[in-house]
Amino acid sequence: MKLFQAKTKYNLYFFLAITFIIWICGKFYRLPFDEAETYTGQTFSLSQQGKLVLAEGTVKRAGKNRQGITFLTIQGEQGEFGASFFPSLGKLPFNPRVGDYISVLGLLGSYQGKPQISPLSSQAISLKDQSNYQTNNNFPLLLISELSDYIDQIVIVQNVRVISVEKFKSREGKQMLRFKLIDSNNRESIDGVFFEGDWDEEMYQLMNEEKTINILAKVTRFRGNLSLNAKNVELN
């Protein structure tokens, strides 16, 4: 037990130390992409902590707390890992969303027993070309008629059209986007929302084009009916 506690403290101190170093010089560091090894979530030994890696995978969870820290959970080919971007690193070049295939240049470590990447700067993240959801096996590909068996899961609803979409403000003053989708047979429909931070003007315009899309969303219930908490969208 003492050995486990000591190892846990070591991992925490290591993570905090790396984070502090990045706070100080992260924004001015010249990123050594050529020196990094590819990391996709594989297990690693204690001696490998602090190693420079280029971590790649699909964003499974994305969020930002009140302090402005962006937290990401990323699914790589060999396992899951996290990455956190502190405000002191600077503004991110884009807003990472669930379903995005990204790479993060940083130092390999662990936090609370899970692999963690400490980014070298705000520019250490990039959006990869491999972003077509239908080639992504991390999320089920479903029709609207199949969604009832996937409550509280993130799925890809494919081959749907947008019937309506509009901006609105929540009671808390958040900028939201509500929409209604229908399947390719014009039989099944479903309502959904994008929460603030999960959509932008480009996405709003895309949903107004009246084209067939795939939408990445969490399946929920609202007032007794199936609903979607949308995370991302792409043209089919």
Lookup: tokens for 104: 């993060």
Q: Do the domains at 2-127 and 139-235 have one common CATH topology?
A: yes
The residue among 21 and 31 whose pLDDT is bigger is 31
How far does Cα 197 stand from its chain's mean position? 12
pLDDT band at residue 12 using 50, 70 and 90 as cut-offs: low
pLDDT of residue 236: 77
Cα dihedral 136, 116, 104, 63 sign: positive
Say what the pTM is: 0.66
pLDDT of residue 34: 74
Domain chopping of the chain, boundaries: 2-127, 139-235
Q: Give the C-alpha distances (Å, rounded to integers) separating 129 from 100, 107, 126, 184.
A: 9, 23, 10, 27
| Fold held by 2-127 | OB fold (Dihydrolipoamide Acetyltransferase, E2P) (2.40.50)
pLDDT of residue 22: 55
- The proportion of the chain whose per-residue pLDDT surpasses 70, expressed as a percent, equals 83
Residue 178 scores a pLDDT above 90:
yes
pLDDT band at residue 13 using 50, 70 and 90 as cut-offs: low
pLDDT of residue 20: 59
pLDDT of residue 9: 58
Residue 33 scores a pLDDT above 80:
no
35 φ, ψ (degrees, to nearest 5): -90, -10
Per residue in 71-101, pLDDT tens? 999 999 999 999 999 999 989 998 898 888 9
Residue 37 scores a pLDDT above 70:
yes
Q: What mean pLDDT value characterizes the chain?
A: 85
d(Cα 23, Cα 92) in Å, to the nearest integer?
Answer: 15
Can you list the positions of beta strands (E) in the chain?
37-39, 52-64, 70-76, 79-85, 101-111, 114-119, 125-127, 141-142, 154-169, 175-183, 189-194, 213-222, 225-235
The residue among 103 and 210 whose pLDDT is bigger is 103
Q: What architecture is domain 139-235?
A: Beta Barrel (2.40)
Per residue in 111-163, pLDDT tens? 888 999 999 999 999 988 545 554 455 788 999 999 999 999 999 999 999 99
What mean pLDDT is predicted for residues 207-222? Answer: 92
What mean pLDDT is predicted for residues 195-223? Answer: 91
